[in-house]
Amino acid sequence: MGQDPDQQDARARDAERLRQLEARLGERTGTGPASRGEEHFSQANMAWRMVTELVAGLGIGFGIGFGLDYVFGTTPFLMIVFVLFGLAAGIKTMLRTANEIGKEPGARPSGNPGDDKGE
């Protein structure tokens, strides 16, 4: 099942030629390895992140409330309380994310341009 030496030599020559070609193309285009800088998040990605945080808060609150209701036998009471706690936690996390968006470099300042009255 082994390959004959001629085929192996041809493969080695082709691989070397390919490496040389890639090196020449890299020199001409000026591209190097891709840099791994800060990730860019689009507005849609940030919106999905916020929705996920809100749903996670509600889900965790529901799970804790349902579990405690099951243990203590207080059927709807603790579930409602912890769903509200989860909602509050989800909203707080969403606000924190929105605050992060505002702190990103290049973000526009709040308010409309031209609102400054010189005070």
Asked if 54 and 83 count as a contact pair (C-beta separation under 8 A), the reply is: no
* Cβ neighbours of residue 23 closer than 8 Å, sequence gap 6 or more: none
pLDDT digits (tens, 9 = 90+) for 71-115: 999 989 999 999 999 999 999 999 998 898 877 665 555 555 555
Note the pLDDT of residue 35.
52
pLDDT band at residue 34 under the 50/70/90 scheme: low
- Position 43 confidence tier, pLDDT thresholds 50, 70, 90: confident
| Contact yes or no for 69/75 (Cβ under 8 A) | yes
Domain edges within the chain: 54-100
Which among 111, 112, 119, 97 has a CA at the least distance from the CA of 43? 97
End-to-end CA distance of the chain: 85
Residue with tokens 């030629």: 17
